[in-house]
Structure 1
Amino acid sequence: MDREVLPCYVVCDVSFSMCDHVDEVNAGMREFRGVVHADRRATVQIRLCVVVFADRPLVVRPLSPALEPAEVIRPRQESGSDFGSAFTLVRTVIERDVDVLKRQRLRVRRPMLFFVSDGRATDPAWPAALERLNATTSCPEMIAFGLGSVDQPTLDRIGSSRVFLGGDGVRLGIALASSVARTVLRPDHV
């Protein structure tokens, strides 16, 4: 094992309540890609996966080098924000991805999960799914990014590592880049 990788998962709420914020999410993803492009170590080390969810979750970008262009995230005209199914899917995806990376003889850093939402879950059982995700051997570092009129206690519960709020003037791309800065990026790029 000689190369090290950092698997990053952006899990984005695209339900009706988030429709007004999807352009900001796409701009943030482009900005993050630009920051990664500016640092050779980041280019080699960071892998990115994007999962969107409303009533149901969907992987729109499987884990791949962060420099590869991402699919444009689109809102759904669905009122549900099923956090539980998103956490369940991403748990399965992370476990599979980490296994694949290890079979490629790569050193895998602790995965990072960047959860983007207003924090307004419509499924009351989501905390159990979050608990199962956090109990896995590949438990990710959890960072929440709140957009719109946020439910702060919910985001605080999800973002056990950090919580950023767009309403505080924090841009999503910079929040994502600063979250990986401790591991990969040089501080002067953040």
Structure 2
Amino acid sequence: MSVYTEPALDLGLTCLPTYLVIDASSSMSPHQGVLNATLERVYQTLQRSPRVSEFAHICLIAFSTDPHLVIPMSEVSQVPVMPEIVCAGATEYGKVFELLRQCIENDVTALRSGGWDVLRPAVFFLTDGAPTDRHWKARFDALVDPGWPRRPHVISYGFGGADPAVLKQVYTKLAFLADGSDSEAALSEALSSMLNTLINSSANNQLTLAVQTTGFQTIALNREYMD
């Protein structure tokens, strides 16, 4: 299987700031139970994997009409319980991209102050619909601005009513679109894909992405960094 591998740092303790950004709008309400059950499974797996938890510091953000910082940047082993996400509201992209930029700026500074060598952040963006705000793209462009040294890699997963034309604008590395009508299965698979990426990345001490995900088609792939 083809993979993308981010060059590793050969210094001290290395961490990958990881942002899991989940659409929690009203269209996700029918899948709220599966979402929370799958997040709990991811959480339990990371709790049992201290190496992965240490390497992949995680921030969980849910977004709808407004974004909500569910778990601030943390080692999962230090998170006592996985909070439940409630799905309601519109699908506003712009606000969450703005919050992400602020979080990354603050988190990278804090991690470096704590003695970590910080890899470029990774954002896993999951959505089941199109944005309801009109001017979101400018905020996404600011998030991934080549002139910003802390710009993240973005990997997007779309399912349900996600628009492939929009998804192709919300990525820097990979964009996936579910190839079936089973949104709950796609949601579970997307989170499993993210978990597997973190496990593989921690083993390699560098970001390692599979360019294929079960149940999804790859609709956008940035080959600039491919081996």
TM-score range for the pair, normalised by the shorter chain length: 0.7 to 0.9
After TM superposition, the structure 1 = structure 2 runs for residues 62-101 of structure 1, keeping only pairs within 5 Å, are: 62-67=72-77, 68=79, 69-76=81-88, 78=89, 80-101=90-111
Quote how far apart the aligned CAs of 1:101 are.
0.4
Q: Distance in 2 between matches of 1:144 and 1:60?
A: 19
For the Cα contact (< 8 Å) 2:129–2:160, is it kept in 1? no
Partner of 2:152: 140
1:178 to 178, 196, 210: 196
Task: Write out per-residue CA displacement over residues 35-71 of structure 1, whole angstroms, 9 at most, x where no aligned residue.
Answer: 4345442132111111111111111111111233321
Is 1:13 aligned to 2:39, yes or no? no
Percentage identity across paired residues of the two chains: 26
- 1:115 corresponds in structure 2 to 125
CA offsets 1:54-102 (integer angstroms, 9 cap, x no match): 11111111111123332111112x2x21100110011101110000001
Q: 1:43 aligns with which of 33, 49, 53?
A: 53
The unaligned stretches of length 5 or more in structure 1 are none
Q: Secondary structure at the match of 1:31?
A: helix
Measure the CA separation in 2 of the matches of 1:61 and 1:185. Answer: 24
What letter corresponds to residue 64 of structure 1 in structure 2?
S
> What residue in structure 1 maps to residue 164 of structure 2?
152
Q: C-alpha distance in 1, partners of 2:45/2:51?
A: 11
**Would you say the 8 A contact 1:48–1:62 is kept in 2?**
yes
- Code of the aligned partner of 2:165: P
Once the 2 structures are TM-superposed, how far is the Cα of residue 161 of structure 1 from its aligned partner? 1.4
Q: Is the 8 A contact 2:130 2:161 kept in 1?
A: no
Give unmatched runs, 5+ long, in structure 2.
1-10, 209-227
The equivalent residue for 2:37 is: 27
Indicate the SS of the match to 1:90.
helix
Check if 1:53 corresponds to 2:63: yes
Report the TM-score, using the length of structure 1 for normalisation. 0.86
Give the superposed CA RMSD: 2.2
Measured in 1, the distance between the counterparts of 2:92 and 2:160 equals 18
Residues 22 and 155 (structure 1), Cα distance of their counterparts in 2 relative to 1, 3 Å cut? farther
Whether the aligned pair in 1 keeps the contact of 2:164 and 2:177 (CA below 8 Å) is: no
Shift of 1:29: 1.9
Q: How far off its partner does 1:7 sit? A: 1.1
Size of the alignment, in residue pairs?
A: 185
Separation (CA, whole Å) in 1 of partners of 2:200 and 2:64: 31
| Residues 84-135 of structure 1 deviation map (CA, whole Å, 9 limit, x = unaligned) | 0110011101110000001111111111111111241011111100000001
How far did 1:151 drift? 0.9
Q: Is this contact kept in 1: 2:18–2:59, CA < 8 A?
A: yes
Residue 162 of structure 1: which of 174, 184, 187 is its match?
A: 174
Contact 1:31 1:173 in 2 (8 A): no
Mapped to 2, the partners of 1:142 and 1:156 lie a distance apart of 11
